[in-house]
């Protein structure tokens, strides 16, 4: 069964396994797939007790099986599941580590749900590459040993519950699951969407994913996709530098990313991993054939030295977290050493913006023009990076655009009030902010209405209405 729209086809090759290709041109913003999650489970080690139905926090437990937490308002969980759990002698102490595997085994056992076992069987687990690795050992200790010490093996008859099967299940989870927001935005969960998981990875992907409160996923194209192009999704954080993205993909997904961005030493001209040249101070050092070479003066820098600089910067960024003064000092210090778009500087800028956002939103605080200017400047700089690494419709870009436009409008109002700019300049700035907000709202149109981004889109629409009135008003002043 192909749940993709009829412009997509599932293909298979040696390098990628199964992947999805556009067989017709796809327009920007077209829905490519909608899919309901087949399994939701906690992130390993999460201590929060969550209802097995709605995944909200709960202190209640099913009165029949006395194993799975369930909130009173959710009613009983699946009868077949409950009956098996009633016979389970020993529930491992840390439910979060075994919940997904237990539910998966019970679904495999349920003959009314043969599709689950078939779909699960077809999913990639990279069992050979994982065998004996650190993650294999962690799963063995946290999940597999506690389960094998219970009587689960005797309760599941359709499959042989042994180490190999349990490791395969953990592998399928690690390779294929999507991280999703827990209800109410409190923490994270992992979820399996087997069709969505067929999309291959690209660090500059051509789709965007949104998941609503009912764990329904929607994948839409974030730019036009030509017939013959692969339909891709980004498995990692696009705001990380190449070495960190590649490492996370190699360790977590077992492949070496060879996408255009990873293969280009300047990261498509974004310079998110570039270091400033100590010789000419203007050029960027980029890595080519294991050498850091300046793109302006051709100086070659010792790779060990460059790696040390980046490692030191990484430590300083970590140590600065949450402290505005320290963040600004680290930002100033490393702006003289790293390229302005370096991912560590972007990280610092995001951290500063988060603190400034909280300050600005506090009704008891009256932000001055300098603070608003700083926020607008940093958001503008982050936006420039996002324009390169997220060229299509992007949630991150929409948020940065809104966070850039709002203080920019406030600054213009303050400057007009103090006589620093004219009425025409104020109107022009407000009109530009209006354009930016419209663009942000357009990009957030694809978000579920009840999500924080959906709420942001509604707030932007209200701001836009007020801005439109204000622009009209300014235009009518004598
Ligand atoms: C979520 S699965 C995708 C579906 C999988 N290809 C299948 O046949 O079930 C992720 C796996 O697909 C492969 N893959 C995805 N994108 C890739 C890429 N850009 N380069 C190489 N392998 C990729 C890797 O084996 C990765 O672990």
- State in Å: Cα 249 to ligand 1 middle: 10
- pLDDT for 475 equals 87
Q: Look at the domain 1-37+193-235 and name its fold.
A: Beta-clip-like (2.170.270)
- pLDDT exceeding 70 applies to what percent of the chain? 100
The 10s digit of each residue's pLDDT in 82-96 is: 999 999 998 888 899
Ligand 1 pocket, residues with Cβ under 6 angstroms: 15-19, 123-124, 126, 175-176, 197-198, 200-201, 253-255, 257
Nearest Cα to Cα of residue 102 among 173, 48, 46:
173
Task: Categorize the per-residue pLDDT at 185 as very low, low, confident or very high, splitting at 50, 70 and 90.
Answer: confident
The 10s digit of each residue's pLDDT in 5-33 is: 999 999 999 999 999 999 999 999 999 99
- As a whole number, the mean pLDDT across the chain is 95
Length of the chain: 478
Query: Considering only CA atoms, which residue is closest to atom 22 of ligand 1?
Result: 16
Give the separation between CA 369 and CA 183, rounded to whole angstroms.
37
Most informative mutation of 17, 179, 197 for ligand 1 (most atoms within 8 A of CB): 17
Domain map (residue ranges) of the chain: 1-37+193-235, 39-183
Task: Categorize the per-residue pLDDT at 453 as very low, low, confident or very high, splitting at 50, 70 and 90.
Answer: very high
Question: Quick one: average pLDDT of 302-330?
Answer: 96
Flag whether pLDDT at 1 surpasses 70.
Answer: no
The 10s digit of each residue's pLDDT in 207-232 is: 999 999 999 999 999 999 999 999 99
């Amino acid at each position: 069964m192909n749940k993709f729209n009829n412009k997509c086809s599932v293909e298979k090759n040696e390098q990628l396994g199964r992947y999805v290709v556009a067989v017709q041109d796809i327009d920007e913003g077209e829905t490519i797939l909608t899919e309901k999650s087949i399994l939701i489970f906690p992130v390993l080690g999460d201590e929060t007790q969550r209802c097995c139905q709605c995944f909200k926090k709960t202190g209640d437990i099913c009165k029949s099986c006395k194993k799975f937490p369930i909130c009173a308002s959710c009613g009983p969980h699946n009868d077949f599941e409950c009956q098996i759990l009633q016979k389970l002698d020993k529930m491992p102490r840390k439910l979060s580590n075994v919940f997904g595997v237990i539910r998966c085994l019970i679904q495999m056992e349920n003959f009314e749900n043969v599709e689950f076992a078939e779909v699960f069987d077809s999913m990639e687990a990279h069992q050979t590459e994982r065998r004996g690795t650190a993650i294999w050992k962690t799963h063995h200790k946290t999940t597999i040993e506690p389960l094998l010490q219970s009587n689960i093996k005797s309760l599941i008859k359709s499959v042989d519950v042994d180490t190999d099967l349990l490791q395969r299940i953990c592998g399928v989870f690690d390779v294929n699951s999507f991280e999703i927001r827990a209800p109410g935005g409190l923490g994270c969960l992992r979820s399996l969407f087997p069709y969505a998981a067929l999309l291959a990875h690209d660090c500059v992907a051509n789709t965007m994913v949104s998941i609503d409160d009912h764990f329904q996923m929607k994948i839409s194209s974030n730019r036009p996709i030509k017939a013959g192009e692969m339909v891709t999704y980004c498995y990692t954080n696009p705001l990380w530098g190449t070495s960190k993205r590649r490492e996370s993909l190699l360790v977590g997904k077992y492949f070496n990313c060879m996408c255009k961005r990873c293969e280009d030493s300047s990261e498509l001209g974004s310079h998110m991993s570039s270091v400033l040249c100590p010789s000419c101070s203007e050029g960027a050092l980029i890595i080519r054939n294991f050498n850091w070479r300046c793109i302006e003066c051709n100086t070659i820098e010792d790779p060990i030295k460059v790696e040390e600089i980046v490692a030191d910067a990484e430590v300083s960024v970590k140590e600065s977290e949450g402290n505005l003064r320290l963040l600004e000092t680290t930002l100033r210090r490393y702006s003289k050493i790293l390229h302005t778009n370096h991912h560590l500087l972007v990280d610092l800028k995001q951290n500063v913006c988060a603190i400034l956002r909280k300050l600005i939103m506090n009704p008891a605080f009256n932000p001055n023009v300098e603070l608003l200017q700083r926020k607008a400047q940093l958001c503008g700089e982050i936006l420039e990076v996002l324009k390169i690494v997220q060229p299509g419709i992007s949630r991150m870009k929409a948020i940065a655009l809104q966070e850039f436009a709002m203080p920019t409008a406030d600054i213009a109002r303050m400057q007009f009030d103090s006589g620093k700019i004219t009425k025409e300049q104020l109107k022009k700035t407000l009109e530009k902010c209006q354009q930016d907000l419209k663009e942000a709202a357009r990009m957030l149109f694809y978000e579920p209405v009840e999500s924080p981004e959906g709420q942001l889109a509604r707030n932007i629409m209200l701001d836009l209405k007020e801005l439109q009135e204000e622009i009209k008003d300014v235009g009518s002043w004598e």
